[in-house]
Amino acid sequence: MIDDVIVVGAGPAGSIAAMLLARAGARVRLIDRETFPRAKLCGDTVNPGTLAILRRLRASAGVEERGLRIDGMVVTGERGIAIEGRYPHGLHGRALLRRELDWQLLQQAVDAGAMFEPGVAVRGPLVEANGTRRVTGVVLDGRRAERRLTARVTIAADGRRSTIAFGLGLARHPARPRRWAVGAYYQNVAGSTTFGEMHVRRGRYIGVAPLPGGLTNVCLVQPSQPADASLRDPAALLRDVLAHDLLLCERFASARAIAAPVVLGPLAVDHVDASLDGLLLAGDASGFVDPMTGDGLRFAVRGAELAADAALAALKHGWSGIHQQLGAARRREFAGKWRFNRALRALVASPRAIEAAAFGARLAPAVMRAVIARAGDCDAAH
């Protein structure tokens, strides 16, 4: 039997899309190369805007029950400037290990009726050979022979290294920015609160997030190349950065990493025209630029909702105009936040801009608090 929809990738975007489609009555097959629960490098923070979407989609219960409440953000600069911004209107986010978040969302997709196949690696898209470039499913790796799955709609939600998007030439790593992330979990970090933290330094930023069970997530993002010596020993890189940061060194003096750091990069992914009948992109596969404001999950969750709507429309009415409508919906939803994040990344890359922002924050902290509210997508949550 041909599936209505094959969703490749069981992260937040894939699981949300599969859940919504299954609830709508579609036959959905969800596949992933990994077995779950599985570890994933992430800032581990669900901001207020994302949490509001999960509530609306009736998918927030596990996140709210197991996640640590996050009441706002602390942003610091190199010269000791620190601005604490509480989310307005009593809003809050949650901090939760990505392995637990992804597992919670995957379970809801399965409960909705999606058929999940773990440990299944996709070799590439299945494309009609008649010159139409229509995607009709996926080709899977097999021990003895390749296996083919067909569907009326294929949703590629297989991350920033999407086998499908890169295989079809729909995605590429841009020359700039070339940033890499190094992340690890620590115990015994002093001074943790119910606030997430963003420590902006020249050319880099350090995200620090408290987690349930006394853990702390640390994620360093900086410009790098694959051959950089610092990436060959990420544990030493994190130790050096934390030990020499005036605001963090004492807090991490007795801290202990509980596992080897994870390195991810290059982070940025650009996508080109993805208007292939039979195929929709969601999550990081649809384009990724390292969001330094904790809103990557909002792009995934809301983007998955838009992709599910587009898939249902294609199943009912065919593919005419589907990609144009989805592109317009994504621009309406995300264009303002894309511009906001680009401006923040430009700030990090400019020492003079950092100094000016620190001076402005000292004179007008309310401006920085408004930025924190914007970063948390509080306007969408209220």
Q: Where are the domains of the chain?
A: 3-44+97-174+268-347, 179-265
Q: How confident is the model at residue 245 (pLDDT cuts 50, 70, 90)?
A: very high
Provide the pLDDT for residue 191.
93
pLDDT in tens, 13-47: 999 999 999 999 999 999 999 999 988 888 889 98
Whole-angstrom Cα distance, residue 193 to residue 70? 9
Q: Which CATH architecture has domain 3-44+97-174+268-347?
A: 3-Layer(bba) Sandwich (3.50)
pLDDT over 90 (residue 252):
yes
Asked, colleague to colleague, whether 3-44+97-174+268-347 and 179-265 share their fold, the answer is: no
DSSP assignment of 277-319: TTEEE-GGGG-B---TTS-HHHHHHHHHHHHHHHHHHHHHH-S
Q: What is the number of alpha carbons within 13 Å of residue 257 lying toward its C-beta?
A: 16
Q: Is the pLDDT assigned to residue 351 strictly greater than 80?
A: no
User: How far apart are alpha carbons 267 and 269 in whole angstroms?
Assistant: 7
Quote the pLDDT of residue 43.
83
- Estimate to the nearest angstrom the gap between the alpha carbon of 231 and the chain centroid: 22
CATH fold for domain 179-265: Alpha-Beta Plaits (3.30.70)
pTM of this structure = 0.90
Helix (H, G, I), strand (E, B) or coil at 273: coil
What would the pLDDT profile of 264-311 be if each residue is shown by its tens digit?
877 777 776 668 899 999 988 887 656 555 567 888 999 999 999 999
Q: How far is CA 345 from CA 190, 205, 290, 354, in A?
A: 28, 9, 9, 11
Which tens digit of pLDDT belongs to each residue from 306-350?
A: 999 999 999 999 999 999 999 999 889 887 777 776 666 666 556
